Amino acid sequence: MKFLDLAKVTIRSGSGGNGCASFRREKYIEFGGPDGGDGGTGGDVWAEVVPALNTLIDFRYQQHFFAGNGKPGMGKQRTGKDGDDIVLKVPQGTEILEDDGETVIADLTEIGQKVLLAKGGNGGWGNLRFKSSTNQSPRKANPGQPGVEREIWLRLKLIADAGLAGLPNAGKSTFLSATSNARPKIADYPFTTLHPNLGVVGVDQKEFVLADIPGLIEGASEGRGLGDQFLGHIERCAVLLHLVDGTAEDVAEDFRIIDRELELYSDIVYAKPRVVGLNKIDALTDEEIAEKREALQQAAGARVYLLSAASGKGVTEVLRALWTEISAQRTEAAAEDEDDAPWQP
């Protein structure tokens, strides 16, 4: 299944059916009069989060979603049939935006969450509705209300507890492959990862979801390389793992490049807790490790973890550091939910 995280679609709710203007006049039955029924209500357009989806690829092949129109009313006080609703089935983590691509209509983060995108038009009243003591034979009936048509954007931001960041070939995909059952593409050339990958990682009988995004390069915020189009997938993460290639000539500069791109992209992403790891230490001597660790610590202003994703050395310590941040944020979120819960005697 191909990965697609942005799609533009056109939706339209159903129009209401017209009311009916008719009169009842039957042989041997007295007191005839108006008996026109109301029109049916137009169908609504909904978006619903369903399980087992992690891409918006279906919306590449269908971009128009129209709900059914309400049927017109009929004589003998018969109401027209309501139009059928239509539901856009989206993966967890989908944002729905206005046509401007910025105004958020809804942020769907829970399985089963459902939101109304376009309300169907009401059906028109039949002439029976207008009968009164002063108007015994109304010939008036209302038309149905038109449906609502609009263009919206669907933008997917994957739900993950931790996210990987770093330059191409920093070893992010190798780390994900070594710590989970995910099998991302791994090769010795840059940009082997062309779309985000998710993996479930376990440490000390605890599990969390780790997201790997394509590598960033200097100028990504200006569209260089794959740009920063995939950074949205780590906006929901509790913590970032910033991997630096230990075999690079200047590890401090490599760190600063990614640090600068994260800052230019979003203050929210830049402010997230970060675990810094010096990767590929299996290819370095002890002197090189000490020298590069010191340089990286000065650039990052934080502890630097030593690891080799290929050999597994130091990986457990990094996972424990990630889990510490994730656990702290989960505890904080649970406390906030408890405070927001209504008081019960």
End-to-end CA distance of the chain: 51
Q: Is 281 annotated as a binding residue?
A: yes
Q: Is 195 annotated as a binding residue?
A: yes
| Domain at 6-156: CATH code | 2.70.210.12
Q: Is 316 annotated as a binding residue?
A: no
Closest CA to 202 of 323, 344, 99, 102: 323
pLDDT of residue 265: 83
Q: Is 284 annotated as a binding residue?
A: no
pLDDT of residue 160: 83
Q: Is 214 annotated as a binding residue?
A: yes
- Return averaged pLDDT per consecutive 10 residues of the chain, 345 residues in all: 81 96 82 89 95 86 95 92 95 91 90 94 93 88 94 88 86 86 56 67 87 71 59 83 90 90 85 91 91 92 90 91 89 71 56
Q: Where in the chain is the domain with CATH 3.40.50.300?
A: 162-340
Q: Is 238 annotated as a binding residue?
A: no
Q: Where in the chain is the domain with CATH 2.70.210.12?
A: 6-156
Strands of the 162-165 sheet, one edge to the other: 197-203, 206-212, 162-165, 239-245, 274-279, 304-306
pLDDT of residue 112: 92
10 Å CB burial of residue 163 (0-12, 13-18, 19+) is buried
Contacts of 219 (CB under 8 A, 6+ apart): 225
Into which CATH architecture does domain 162-340 fall? 3-Layer(aba) Sandwich (3.40)
Q: Is 279 annotated as a binding residue?
A: yes
Q: What are the tokens at 183?
A: 């099998």
pLDDT of residue 189: 44
Q: Is 167 annotated as a binding residue?
A: yes
